[in-house]
Structure formats: structure tokens, C-alpha cells
Chains A and B, each alone.
Chain A
Amino acid sequence: MTANTLATVKGSSIISALNHASVQTVVALPDIVTCAGLLWPLSKDPNIRLIPVCKEDEGISICAGLSYCNQRSVLLIQHTGFLDSLNAIRAIAVEYQLPIVMLVGLQGMEPDGRDPSESDHLGIRIIQPICEAMRLTTYLIINDASAQMLSSEIEKAYEFSQPVVFLITQHLSAD
């Protein structure tokens, strides 16, 4: 895929997938990739309870606590915050086998359709190998179709009580 053919992803597609998967809560720390297109609209959505956090690993635990009460949530963060939270993800999401759903913006990802593992940026290049090492199921959100499969993968995460990571490769559009 080239820069010319790279599709845009609408924040509204992600919101409708979250609604479809009965996600009631979004725990978030702002990420430039998703802030305008997703976080701001979510903050105004009456169907979503938004819990802002001061550090991303808090969000892993908040989502864990909610999952014990049968409440569905997602954690919306940047890849930097994902990297910062690895020990909490390792213990709480992976080893405790909890349905922690992470939407991770790849800040600085080149907009030319290449795979994140081929990014010029070390912080992005290492994300998929880290997910693989941690046995985290990982998906790329590269267009509206892949945004729509979010809801079925969130269903699966809750059905099997296991974490899942969605990597958002480009800035989301606001509608």
C-alpha cells in the first residue's frame, strides 16, 4: 500500500464498534494519534463512561477491576504508555488472564502503509515483537473494515478472558 492508497480510519467507526461490543467504559491517557478523532468524541458520548488516568498502568488495573464485575472497558493509550506499562500488562493481563483490551496509537508511524515492524522509529518497531514475546494477541487497525472487526475481537477477549491489543497506525479522522 502506498501513501496514495492509505485509507483513513474514522473515530466514529471505532466508537460504533465499541458500542456494538457493549463497552461501557473507556480508560484513557491522551495520545496524539487518537485524541481528536476518538478521545474527544468519546468524552462527549453519553453512552460511555470516560475515566482519565495519570499513568497508563493504572488503566490496566482499572479495566481488571471492572472485568471482575462483568463490566466491559477498553484502555486507550499511546505506544509509549504501553511500553511504560509492560510489567502491569505482564502480571495482570497476561499471567492473570484478564480481558484487558488495549487500543494503542503508534505515534510517529510513517504514513506510507508499511508494517510497524519496519518503522524507522525504534519505539514503534519493537511493539509487535514485544507483543509476540508476551503472547498478546495483536491486530492492526489500518482502515474502517479493520476497525469494525474490533467488536468481534472484544467479544472474544471477554469470552476467553484474555487480553488483546489493537495497534492504530495513523491519525483517526473525527467523523
Chain B
Amino acid sequence: MLARDEALKVLAAHYTDGITVGVYQSIFDWMQIRPHPLNYLCTGAMGQAASHGLGIAIGAPNEKVVVLDGDGSLLMNLGCLFTIGHAAPENLVHFVIHNRTYEVNGDFPILGSKVLLFEEIARIAGYRHTFVFSEIVEFKLMIKHILELAGPVFVNLHVEPGESYRQDYVAIHSSESRAIFRSALHARLFGHQPENEPSKTSPDYSANEFHQ
């Protein structure tokens, strides 16, 4: 048995300071288990987390990037596994938190999720290492090794919900949280603050002109 929050606590104990891109209930849990300015709260459009992670992994090749995907989200964009397999970023670790439901949207069951072998698709798609866990003891034993491997690495975590964490939608949709991420990332990568921040420099997009 693998409770999601217990699994995330195991990850947090070994991944204390790195970039994380996450979605939905997993990022709600993660924000409270490992609050950190390098948590990117990726939502608004399902199926986009791993692609954000890929862009960051390519743009920051010396940083580890951990993606916490949802099974419903990943199922929407399975092609991204092939894109990542082909791009082959060594610094990307892609977790899917496989809870078999659209948990934050009413816990409705996900079609095929009981039989879906995400890790097999990832392997065929070109991920260098793939894992599947449904027991906390085994996950605990392997996590250090997983984080040391050259990626892309895929980890399918078959989880149960665990303790319930607050769903902080305000945080995940706020421009502040993205600005905090951007600042922390720039400080990490370049040793200074970003030059062009949307909230500071952009004109209100509703006032843009239509050009031809």
C-alpha cells in the first residue's frame, strides 16, 4: 500500500531543493509537504505538466526537474512520452501519481486506468529507466537511486489518497506563485532576478491592439 502523501514525503526527504512541476491533488499535497519557491504549479490545461518539465529541463540542463503528473492528465497527452523519449533530457524524472480517478474533479473514475501500464508506454517511448511501485517499503528503498540516474526516468506510483490536504486553487492560479518560481529559478540559474516579468512589464493584455 502506497498512500500518496507518504510517497511524496519519501520523495521530499531525498529531493529537498530541486525544481518540481506538478498538477492537481499531487501539487496540493506537495506544496504543503515540501513548500519551496521552485515548485511550479502547472494547471489551467490538463496534460501539460510533463511538457513544461521538458522545456525547463532543456533550458536548465544542470538542474534536476521532477514532474508530478496526474494519471488523468497524462492520459490526455500520452504523445508527450514520445516527445520526451526523443528529446531525452538526462535531468528529467517524470512521476505519474496513479490514483485511478480525476480526484479534484469529483473523484470520478478514469477509463482504463486500472489496466493502463504507463511505464510500458514510457519504456517504448524511449525513457532510459522506468519503475512502478505500489508499496511504500520498495519505493523508500529505490528513491535515492532513482534520483541519481541519468534520465529521462519514469516512475508510476500506484497510490491511495492518504491524508487530505487543502486544495489551494488561489495559489496555483496566482501570477504571484509564477513570479516567485521565476525569481527563484533565475536566482538559481543566473544569480540574479529576472529582467522581464509579466506582472511588471506587460501591458494589460486586454488592451492589446489587433494587428495584421
Contacts and interface: CB of A to CB of B under 8 A. Distances in A.
Interface of B: 21, 40, 42-45, 47-49, 51-60, 77, 79-80, 82-83, 86-87, 175, 178, 181-182, 185-186, 189-190, 194, 196-199, 201-203, 205-206, 208-212
A7 interface: no
Interface of A: 25, 49, 51-55, 57-71, 73, 87-88, 90-92, 94-98, 115, 128, 131-132, 135-140, 158-162
18 contacts: A53-B79, A54-B79, A58-B54, A61-B51, A62-B52, A64-B52, A66-B58, A68-B182, A69-B185, A70-B186, A97-B198, A97-B202, A115-B212, A128-B210, A132-B210, A139-B212, A161-B196, A161-B197
Given A51-B83, A132-B210, A61 B201 contact: no
Nearest to B210: A132
A51 B87 contact: yes
Given A54-B82, A65-B59, 17 more contacts: A25-B58, A51-B58, A52-B86, A57-B48, A57-B77, A58-B48, A62-B52, A62-B54, A65-B21, A65-B53, A68-B40, A92-B44, A97-B205, A136-B208, A137-B209, A161-B196, A161-B201
Nearest to B178: A96
Contacts of B47: 57
Contacts of A61: 42, 48-49, 51-52, 54-55
A101 to B, nearest CB: 13
A54 B58 contact: no
- Which 3 A-B residue pairings sit nearest by Cβ, starting from the closest? A65-B55, A69-B59, A54-B79
Interface of B is mostly: helix
A62 B87 CA distance: 11
Nearest to B48: A61
Nearest to B205: A135
B20 to A, nearest CB: 13
Contacts of A131: 210
Contacts of B194: 70
A171 to B, nearest CB: 20
Contacts of A92: 44-45, 48
B210 A55 contact: no
A71 B58 CA distance: 9
A65 B51 contact: yes
A62 B209 contact: no
A98 B198 CA distance: 7
Contacts of A98: 198
Given A88-B45, A162-B202, A70 B55 contact: no
Contact of A138 (B56, B182, B211): B211
A137 B198 CA distance: 16
Given A69-B60, A91-B44, A162 B205 contact: yes
A158 B210 contact: no
